[in-house]
Amino acid sequence: MSAELVLAPEFLLPENLPDSLGYAPGEVPEERMLAEVGFFVPDYIDSPNPEWMRLMPRLQVVQLPTVGFDAALPHLPEGVTLCNAAGVHEQSTAELTVGTIIARWRGIDRAARNMADGRWDHRRGRSLQGAVVVIVGAGGVGSRIGDALRPLGCRVEMVGRSARKGVWGAERLPELIASADVVVLAVPLTKETEGMVDAAFLERMPDGSLLVNVARGTVVITDDLLDALPRIEAVLDVVEPEPLPSDHPLWSAPGVLITPHIGGDTDAFPRLARELIDRQVRTWRAGAALSNVVVGP
């Protein structure tokens, strides 16, 4: 077997890629196979396996199928390049963000529950027209969310780590969220962002405003969010802990809509991921510069 073996989940393995091996969920290749891997694609959310990296002495590149990379960092061997899946999940995550804001503000989640009882409960909803939306995280996901919201009449304020054209610096965040109708979290999980949405952050949000988390669950301190409900509302695609236990108080908290970490997982994902993996493998084998590098060698 080639020392440039590519190992990827079967459903993400590009067709006709030489010297490549696919694996099924829960399947662990023999160690002699892992020892030949030079390019590794960890599995998706349901069965992540970054710990395999320590069994890959020839590993050169790890290509994640996700935009987030925090789970891979503790396992990344020194000198190995880590790339994320920027460009794969942005559109789908933006669709979910807009859809769940509308679902919450127009009462679609409530109407769906009422269907079970045949209950007709007409209420006036809230429109996105004129809404002030603060998006925390000005990378690919946050930018695409902003692009999706502006045509609906929203005033979008982007916030990044540092100021640049069209983006406020993080120092302006307390001021911006104090006048926000919606605050969307689209940041990577880092030491700076872990727990950033605490009691003080939530207290600055106006009464009746909506917090939307499509980042990582640990960006929000769950107990502090529970204390802030129902003064504010929340749409959560990610939570802490995750998966959320069936008896967790978030399930029954007023003003909360929860989806099970489905932001980027649509039927577009496998095709886009295969295309990215194919490009990255061919680039790597040609000795050229890879895209989406998070950690360099």
Could you read off the pLDDT of 159-198 as tens digits, one per residue? 999 999 999 999 999 999 999 999 999 999 999 999 999 9
In the chain, the percentage of residues whose pLDDT exceeds 90 is: 93
For the residues 103-109, what does the mean pLDDT come to? 97
Query: What is the band of 144 on the pLDDT scale with cuts at 50, 70, 90?
Result: very high
**Which entry of 4, 194, 203, 242 is annotated as an active-site residue?**
242
Could you tell me the strand order of the sheet in which 132-136 lies?
A: 155-159, 132-136, 182-185, 210-213, 233-236, 256-258
Same domain, 84 and 99: no
pLDDT tens digits, 218-273: 999 999 999 999 999 999 999 999 999 999 999 999 999 999 999 999 999 999 99
Backbone angles phi, psi at 98, to 5 degrees: -65, -45
- Please tell me which residue in 216, 233, 240, 274 is annotated as part of the active site: 216
Catalytic status, residue 282: no
Q: How many CA atoms lie within 13 A of 54 on its CB side?
A: 7
157 has a pLDDT exceeding 80: yes
CATH assignment of the domain containing 278: 3.40.50.720
Q: Quick check: 2 pLDDT over 70? A: no
| 279 is a catalytic site residue | no
Are 128 and 14 part of one and the same domain? Answer: no
Confidence of residue 45 (pLDDT cuts 50, 70, 90): confident
Number of compact structural domains in the chain: 2
Residues in a beta bridge with 83 = 63, 293
- State the average pLDDT for the chain: 95
**Total-model pTM:** 0.93
Verify that 121 and 176 share a domain, yes or no. yes
Indicate whether 109 and 252 sit together in one domain.
yes
- pLDDT-derived band at 1 (thresholds 50, 70, 90) equals very low
- Distance of alpha carbon 185 from alpha carbon 166, whole angstroms: 17
Identify which of 248, 285, 270, 204 has the alpha carbon closest to the alpha carbon of residue 9: 270
CA distance 213 to 280: 30
Across-strand partners of 212? 184, 235
Q: Residues 89, 104, 144, 261: which is the catalytic one?
A: 261
Active site residue 216: yes
Assess whether 53 and 145 both reside in one domain.
no
Domain that holds residue 185: 90-258
pLDDT at 46: 67
Residues in the chain: 297
